[in-house]
Amino acid sequence: MTIATRPLGRTGLDVTALSFGGASIGNLYQAVTNQAAHETLQAAWDAGIRFFDTAPRYGHGLSERRLGDFLRDKPRDSYVLSTKVGRILTPLRGRVMGDYGFVDVLPFEQEYDYSYDGIMRSHEASLHRLGLDRIDVLYMHDIGTDTHGEAQNAEYEPVAFSGGLKAMQELRAAGDVKAIGLGVNEVEVCLRALDHADLDAFLLAGRFTLLEQEAARPLIAACLARGASLVIGGVFNSGILATGPVPGAHYNYAEPPAEIVERVRRLQAVCARHDVPLAAAAQRFPLSNPAVASVLLGVSNKRNLDRNLASMDVVIPDALWADLVAEGLLAADLAPR
């Protein structure tokens, strides 16, 4: 399979339109063996994926270690690697670890640090865990009210924007990284960050999907105006666009409200009329937007990866998108053309 590449902003980096998200190989929700993680990464590589994302948060360093072990014998210019800063991992040494949704993690606690020194330390520590001498794309991770709440974020954000973004810009200017941005679940903090730094890319999860697009509009416009790119995660809104509105389906990591279930049911019905799986339409939709450089696939095994890859071969007729517009499920100006 050949996966097309797209430019990542004005960075000179070309990334594959499908990218590999490393949360699952950090044991998100369930343990994955080293062998299974390696096999999934190998399958992604064999399929032509050359854009890999990870973070210290994922398995408390486990994802970075596994990804670095896999990539270490690959020619360094044959792939693009992103990771994130804003958390420092410190040895447990008898402390009780918090519950962050990952299981069988490495023995480190996560501590937020968005300061200039914290960002520099986080970048250096990631290089050591990866066992690589360069990270291509560096995202500031989970700054914003969605993660921290209003009061806590009011303390973190000024430090992040005055100190943390300064550190990231210095790393880019020195050539230590090629691109900087934010990795978050909300749009507003991305727009505020653009008032403080010229950013290259945003890893945005769950806000530009077949189910919801309106929140992303101002960020799409800002990216197009500034020559920045979006990398879209959470294209299935944490599951419901992959499974459909079945009992037990998740929407944004929780039980979906009734109005979301009904909207997904309507989306699925339109897709069914055109013999297109809902998951295929959901995966392909963001890639139609000129601001989007890549869609991030978070998979823990080869079976799920193969299913996602197969979605790229599904023929989606223009009439499907037109019907979604006609039924008020998709804005006309965002419909694929």
Residue ranges in 177-301 assigned as alpha helix (H): 188-193, 217-226, 240-243, 258-273, 278-284
Q: Which two tokens stand for residue 79?
A: 């792939």
Q: Which two tokens stand for residue 182?
A: 């934010």
> Cα–Cα distance between 314 and 2 in angstroms, integer?
15
> Cα–Cα distance between 98 and 54 in angstroms, integer?
20
Beta bridge partners of 28: 102
Give me the catalytic one of 29, 53, 113, 302: 53
Give me the catalytic one of 14, 29, 58, 313: 58
**Residue 202 contacts residue 219 (beta carbons within 8 Å):** yes
> Cα–Cα distance between 88 and 90 in angstroms, integer?
6
> Catalytic site residue 53?
yes
Q: How far is CA 235 from CA 2, 241, 286, in A?
A: 21, 8, 8
Q: Which two tokens stand for residue 316?
A: 């989606």
> Cα–Cα distance between 52 and 20 in angstroms, integer?
5
Positive or negative CA dihedral for 256, 110, 197, 77? negative
**Residue 23 contacts residue 63 (beta carbons within 8 Å):** yes
**Residue 53 contacts residue 82 (beta carbons within 8 Å):** yes
Q: Which two tokens stand for residue 246?
A: 């079945």
- Maximum CA extent, the chain: 60
Give me the catalytic one of 69, 73, 77, 84: 84
> Cα–Cα distance between 83 and 19 in angstroms, integer?
13
Positions annotated as catalytic residues are 53, 58, 84
